[in-house]
Amino acid sequence: MEAMRKTVLAGVCLKDKNNEFESAMNECEALCEACGMQVTARITQKSDSADTRTAFRKGKLDELHETVHATDSDLVVFLNPLSVQSAQRIAELCECEVIDRTALILDIFSHRARSRQAKLQTEMARLQYDLPKALAMADDHERSRGGSVTNRGAGEMRSAVISKKYQARIQDLKKELEKIGKQRSQDERRRAKTMLSRVALVGYTNAGKSSLMNALMTQSGAKGTHVDAEDLLFKTLDTSVRTIEKDRKKFLLYDTVGFVSNLPHMLVEAFRSTLDAARDADLLIEVIDGSDENAPEKTRITEKTLKEIGAGDIPVLRVYSKCDLMENRSEKEGQAVSCVTGEGLNALLDEIMKRLYPNETEMICCLPYDKMAMLETYKQMLQIEILSNEEDGMKIEIRGPRRYTQAFDEYRIIEGEI
């Protein structure tokens, strides 16, 4: 088993972020652990602003240096964003590698990516993040040779070559992703032909979305393999979809990438196509870890992110997972479930069906024999029972949402609300 990398977690608590700072540091430590790191110490400083050169002020920087050596750590992770130059200065002073939270999240995505699409998206985000660093190194190289980066000399040419190389690769990745996107669009068009409603699981990373998908599959007897679900941040980067059925009604259930506070913008852009499942859903299941004391803040971040990706107006059903570990359950507004004990799963399925199929009708009609293809088209959305074969067509009883039964109106014999 690979040894965990010893890491010192550092952060500047800005005056206007005082209430959020401790939660942000805890989350950053969890991100470190998700990337196979052991946080040996935390070093923090309260300030009106981070030092533009080294984030920490001189005294705190010396303390960071001492802590790195005392704990035998070889990495410092900063909660605050660092410029390329700042990271280099801190690394020189502390004699170890220094990265910020954005780089940490990119590392996690690089390790977690499994599908071709996720790998390409993550590589593109990494290139966009690394380009300024590569250009800075080119500038340093020119200075070490005695040149000036303001001159039209070799240094500028070196930077231009690096920039061109990075941009060319980014464009290649975009083209590959477009091809994958077209294939995904074809898959989605095939699913659209089934006319099944779409439900997307959304929420903060590690809230229990994948576990809930597996539990709903088991509860409903759905076919298909279970998705990976471990107690790790950003375990799921790829969108998974399964068909869920209850009482002869079906819907498509999508599992999506988890959200996190201040998700690096290049990752939001890179994974925008993966988040289509949330934007195109008929219903969003917002999964909230009911045992998490920071759940209100994470819920706020989730709902803010949904607005940012264009899914803010889609109906939302809140679901509190891990209800077997919850306190004050009566204070929560939403469905409470436990994927461990199975509590609340059946009630959740009933609520989903109620939301997806609010107005059902039933009718008896005589469908002409040359219209039999309609039965194949609507068999997944409607409950259809064949009553008899008549001279001019097949007598059938149809039950289901009005938006689907209306296709049979012209062949109706008897209709009644249920």
Give 57-96 pLDDT, tens digit per residue: 999 999 999 999 999 999 999 999 898 889 999 999 999 9
- The DSSP-derived string for 267-330 is HHHHTTTTTHHHHT-SEEEEEEETT-TTHHHHHHHHHHHHHHTT-TTS-EEEEEE-GGG-SSGG
For residue 341, with 0-12 CB atoms within 10 Å meaning exposed, 13-18 middle and 19 or more buried, which class applies? exposed
Instruction: State whether residue 251 is helix, strand or coil.
Output: strand
Instruction: Return the pLDDT at 144.
Output: 59
Instruction: Return the pLDDT at 186.
Output: 66
Rounded to the nearest 10°, the torsion over CA 357, 360, 365, 369 is 0
Instruction: Return the pLDDT at 371.
Output: 92
Q: With the C-alpha atoms ordered 258, 260, 262, 266, is the resulting torsion angle positive or negative?
A: negative
Which parts of 309-397 fold into alpha helices (H)? 345-356, 373-378
Strands 5-14 and 383-389: unpaired
User: Could you give the C-alpha distances from 397 to 195, 359, 366, 381, in angstroms and in order?
Assistant: 20, 17, 9, 14
Burial 9-21 (b: 16+ CB within 10 A, else e): bbbbbeeeeeeeb
Q: Maximum CA pair distance of the chain?
A: 96
Residue tagged 């099944």 (tokens): 196
Residue tagged 């279970």 (tokens): 226
Backbone angles phi, psi at 192, to 5 degrees: -65, -30
Q: What is the rounded distance in angstroms from the CA atom of residue 29 to the CA atom of residue 23?
A: 10
| 202 beta partners | 286
Instruction: State whether residue 179 is helix, strand or coil.
Output: helix
Identify residue 203 by its one-letter amino acid code.
G
Q: What is the rounded distance in angstroms from the CA atom of residue 92 to the CA atom of residue 65?
A: 10
Q: How far is CA 236 from the centre of its chain?
A: 7
Low-confidence ranges of the chain (pLDDT < 70): 1-2, 138-156, 184-194, 228-238, 269-274, 328-332, 414-418
Instruction: Return the pLDDT at 1.
Output: 47
Backbone angles phi, psi at 221, to 5 degrees: 70, 30
pTM across the whole model: 0.71
Neighbours of 66 (CB within 10 A): 12
Instruction: Return the pLDDT at 139.
Output: 65
Strands 383-389 and 394-401: antiparallel
- CB contact at 8 A, 252 and 224: no
Q: How far is CA 28 from the centre of its chain?
A: 17
User: Could you give the C-alpha distances from 158 to 132, 385, 402, in angstroms and in order?
Assistant: 13, 73, 65
Give all strands (DSSP E) within 5-126, no chain letters: 5-14, 37-47, 75-78, 97-100
Instruction: State whether residue 15 is helix, strand or coil.
Output: helix
Instruction: Return the pLDDT at 90.
Output: 94
